[in-house]
């Protein structure tokens, strides 16, 4: 404890002086990464300050990435890692690569299907048939809710006529869906619960709405329910953002039992569930059965968001939202205020594509093709990297989420930079956390844009780097 003792000087508040002193100790390696910091009461007694001062100092350290609080355990030191502004840096790098040079890399970052699986021929037929059938009408503005035929086909083929087609709102992809729902129902200082880690695009939207964000650790069958209940008992929660299948980035899938329990809690504590139905079409494990939160919802608590872009043609940017009756008008107005309508021609073509049975064939082809890549990447990870990483086999989707073993002295930002030099792109785990320092030992790799040869070569290079 002696190393924590120092004399207060100057006009800065005491909590700032305490945090600066501890930062110096961490940077100089006097306090090592993972060391437990003194208890709040212990440090307050040592320094002769009140406990609130120490609490504020620890909060400042955590915000700056020098400490990590573990519920029920205490506060631990974190070594200085150069990832404070990494989100901007990563975004800038990826934009440059996406401009054309990405084809020179082994791309493990993809979240959409590979161009070799694009159904160009059949979709072209659908487009031509729409133009022959509808002529100039194919280019007119639609109802703000979307093309009536497409909403009807979604209801028939995806929901077995269990909905009213008027309840379906066509949007320009899942990201816009999250955005318009947030604008419609989330206000400043509303309390939002998200999975930890979670999709950075949703996290940024909620931050932009200036909501208070609570994170709950993900388990293999969904979020930590005991901690979720503690949050609900102490806070008035507005909504819970959830990815029910192959959660991004962990790949975890919710059990039916946990879905029902969360739906019951939503009714009991009066909150709403924003369900991002992410890649649920790509199921390779026969033990995983599809049943969304929305399909189990009897109390109208689920705001359902679905994208066609990730598994179909990314460029058409299309998806849909099904809001509860309570928020239907607000979400519709939010959509109208965001953009007048999604492409009329593309909506009509997608409608015809679904009705003609092409969609069903396309999804079957994707499952067969990606299952081969999935099983191959799983095998390579087990055979090549097993002593350096820990990972979960998700049973579907397009990605694996990987933890670098603690004994490997490398974080994901360093791994990203070294991989980039070897013409390989991965997704660093720091992007998926509100406090990005928590994702230092994680990274995500996907197989949507990579064939078998590229998977093998890329994983072997990662192995050499981690050595």
CB 17 within 8 A of CB 8: yes
Mark the ranges of the chain whose per-residue pLDDT is less than 70.
11, 79-102, 141-142, 340-341
Helix (H, G, I), strand (E, B) or coil at 450: coil
Contacts of 178 (CB under 8 A, 6+ apart): 201, 202, 205, 241, 274, 276, 305
The closest alpha carbon to 192, from 274, 258, 129, belongs to 274
358: its two tokens: 């092409």
The closest alpha carbon to 79, from 146, 34, 13, belongs to 34
CB 75 within 8 A of CB 58: yes
Query: Which residue carries 């979960």 as its tokens?
Result: 392
CB 188 within 8 A of CB 211: yes
> Which pLDDT value is given to residue 246?
96
> Which pLDDT value is given to residue 99?
55
Complete domains list, the chain, with CATH: 18-77 (1.10.10.10), 86-110+361-466 (3.90.1150.10), 138-356 (3.40.640.10)
What's the count of helices (H) and strands (E) in the chain, helices before strands?
16, 16
| Residues 328-350 pLDDT 10s | 999 999 998 887 667 788 899 99
Helix (H, G, I), strand (E, B) or coil at 305: strand
> Which pLDDT value is given to residue 328?
93
**Preceding peptide of 269 cis, ω within 30°:** no
- Apex 411 CA angle, 405 and 416, nearest 5: 115
340: its two tokens: 């007048």
CB atoms within 10 A of CB 353: 25
The closest alpha carbon to 241, from 326, 317, 188, 178, belongs to 178
| Residues 237-278 pLDDT 10s | 999 999 999 999 999 999 999 999 999 999 999 999 999 998
Rounded Cα gap, residues 320 and 174, in angstroms:
8
| Residues 214-236 pLDDT 10s | 999 999 999 999 999 999 999 99
Query: Which residue carries 């933890």 as its tokens?
Result: 403
What is the 8-class DSSP label of residue 145? Answer: T
The closest alpha carbon to 215, from 68, 91, 73, belongs to 68
> Which pLDDT value is given to residue 39?
92
């Amino acid at each position: 404890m002696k190393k924590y003792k120092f004399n207060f000087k100057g006009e800065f508040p005491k909590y700032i002086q305490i945090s600066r002193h501890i930062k110096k100790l961490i940077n100089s390696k006097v306090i090592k990464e993972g060391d437990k910091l003194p208890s709040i009461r212990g440090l307050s007694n040592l320094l002769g300050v009140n406990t609130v001062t120490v609490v504020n100092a620890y909060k400042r350290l955590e915000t700056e990435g020098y400490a990590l609080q573990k519920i029920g355990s205490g506060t631990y030191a974190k070594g200085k890692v150069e990832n404070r502004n990494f989100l901007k840096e990563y975004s800038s790098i990826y934009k440059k690569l996406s401009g054309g040079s990405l084809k020179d890399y082994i791309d493990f970052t993809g979240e959409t299907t590979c161009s070799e699986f694009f159904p160009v021929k059949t979709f072209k037929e659908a487009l031509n048939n729409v133009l022959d059938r509808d002529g100039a009408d194919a280019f007119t503005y639609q109802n703000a809710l979307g093309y009536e035929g497409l909403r009807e086909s979604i209801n028939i083929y995806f929901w077995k006529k269990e909905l009213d087609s008027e309840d379906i709102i066509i949007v320009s992809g899942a990201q816009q869906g999250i955005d318009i729902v947030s604008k419609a129902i989330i206000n400043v200082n509303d309390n939002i619960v998200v999975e930890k880690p979670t999709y950075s695009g949703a996290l940024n939207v909620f931050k932009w709405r200036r909501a208070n964000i609570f994170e709950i650790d993900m388990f293999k069958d969904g979020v930590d329910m005991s901690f979720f209940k503690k949050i609900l008992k102490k806070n008035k929660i507005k909504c819970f953002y959830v990815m029910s299948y192959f959660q991004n980035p962990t790949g975890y899938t919710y059990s039916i039992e946990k879905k029902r329990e969360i739906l019951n809690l939503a009714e009991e504590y009066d909150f709403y569930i924003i369900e991002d139905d992410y890649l649920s079409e790509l199921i390779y494990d026969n033990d995983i059965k599809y049943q969304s939160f929305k399909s189990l919802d009897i109390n109208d608590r689920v705001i359902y968001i679905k994208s066609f872009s990730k598994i179909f043609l990314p460029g058409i940017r299309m998806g849909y939202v099904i809001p509860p009756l309570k928020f239907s008008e607000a979400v519709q107005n939010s959509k109208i205020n965001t953009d007048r309508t999604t492409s009329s021609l593309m909506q009509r073509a997608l409608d015809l594509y679904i009705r003609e049975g092409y969609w069903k064939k396309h999804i079957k082809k994707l499952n067969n093709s990606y299952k081969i890549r999935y099983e191959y990447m799983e095998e390579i990870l087990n055979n090549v990297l097993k002593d350096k990483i820990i990972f979960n086999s998700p049973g579907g989707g397009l990605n694996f989420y990987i933890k670098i073993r603690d004994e490997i002295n490398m974080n994901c930002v360093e791994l990203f930079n070294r991989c980039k030099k070897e013409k390989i792109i991965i997704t660093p785990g720091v992007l998926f956390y509100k406090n990005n320092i928590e994702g230092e030992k994680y990274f995500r790799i996907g197989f949507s844009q990579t064939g078998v040869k590229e998977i093998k070569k890329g994983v072997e290079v990662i192995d050499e780097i981690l050595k």
